[in-house]
Chains A and B, each alone.
Chain A
């Protein structure tokens, strides 16, 4: 496991040493602080619009950062010729795939948690108490969401170029997240049953409108669901890499 963890740390260092994360953080901060200081007819403690904006920003930037990071891991190793040096060391190709995925996911998760804490601080300051149970559950399910997205981008990175991978992954993510429930017609049955339903992990509306958390059983099911899809995408990537001649 040490080689896997070493690879993961490398990817995490990458996200915090490049400017993408800081640009996202500054943008989120600026927009949140601007939105928080808006007044509407001198009515105090209006917070749900801020939560809607903040959660959308946090979720979107986290997904974009994670997908772009995961998508470029293997192609940049090939392009920069570091793949040969790395894979000439005693690390199995399967562990290489896992290490790259884990690093991308943990890097994206770290970025998300930092954004989320900033959002919670601003929203709490604006509107008082937020439902802590739902806040935690929203974050947890989004992390599962991020795990699947990272696995998808990671797995595709062994087949596609960076730009193709980012486009395909984000399109599928948006398609399933926004229209996943409606793809039930015959022509779309394959997508409906085969692709991961990202809308399962989106608790923003429950959090914003104080609907309360979902059941523990459902959380457990969604955890297993995310784990299965993660494994599928990583397996796809590993199968391709096993046959890849460097």
Chain B
């Protein structure tokens, strides 16, 4: 059963609905996470954007493994590691699948249709992951692993340090408590840009933000050491010496590592220089 709706009642309803939507939109935007023009998909999807972003991040991982999603892919065999197209890597802690499928003919046909094996993208194909990193970071600005992984690949595989820095900076703005992002930024400034002032700033920030349970001892040593190096390269010898000593003090007495010896040497050279 239908009724004709008189325009005189319909139009005010439409206008009222429009004003309500506009008002709600203003309210939502005022309380929303940073949202610029480029975050339209995130605004459209709302909280579903996080789920989509996570899925796209997993998709990037699947792409790296030749399309096989975890846990469907088996661990790589020795033969596969030696073959062209496969990249030697640490054995990952994945659920082991049988080499041949058990049981019925349907499983066997599926096994033949689907590719099986552990595969990593070669360097020239690794760029195929980038769209998923870009989308994951955009849709889920609070996905710190996605931000770090995207920056890592951009910096290490594609020599796009500037792009990596931009992602990490935006990630730091969206995740002010994430020490890992500062640590990653610091590494890029230190190693790639040789910008020791910025490196110092971010190493110090990472150490300041990390709560007591966040860092392993060796990670703390590493960050403190790099802070000391940055200070040293800037010529701030006193501050560098303090930082080296702090890093050294984190070692147990019985630890004997190359880095500990290096730090000991740096301390001695700075002390001698005083």
Contact = CB atoms under 8 A, between A and B. Distances in A.
Asked whether the complex places CB atoms of A and B closer than 8 A, the reply is yes
Contacts of A215: 112
B106 A192 contact: yes
B127 A43 contact: yes
Contacts of A92: none
Contact of A200 (B110, B130, B154): B110
B123 to A, nearest CB: 12
Contacts, number: 68
Interface string B23-50: 0000000000000000000000000000
Contact of A46 (B104, B107, B115, B130): B130
A179 to B, nearest CB: 12
Interface stretch (A17-25, A97-105, A206-214): A206-214
Given A41-B160, A218-B113, A49 B106 contact: no
A181 interface: yes
A1 to B, nearest CB: 33
Given A48-B63, A211-B67, A40 B113 contact: no
Interface residues of A, number: 30
Nearest to A183: B106
A209 B110 contact: no
Given A205-B67, A209-B67, A49 B131 contact: yes
Given A41-B130, A48-B128, A199 B110 contact: yes
Given A43-B127, A197-B110, 18 more contacts: A40-B127, A41-B158, A41-B160, A41-B163, A43-B158, A46-B131, A49-B128, A49-B132, A181-B107, A184-B104, A200-B109, A200-B113, A208-B67, A209-B63, A209-B115, A211-B67, A218-B109, A218-B113
Interface of A: 38, 40-43, 45-49, 180-181, 184, 192-193, 197, 199-200, 202-203, 205-206, 208-209, 211, 214-215, 218, 221-222
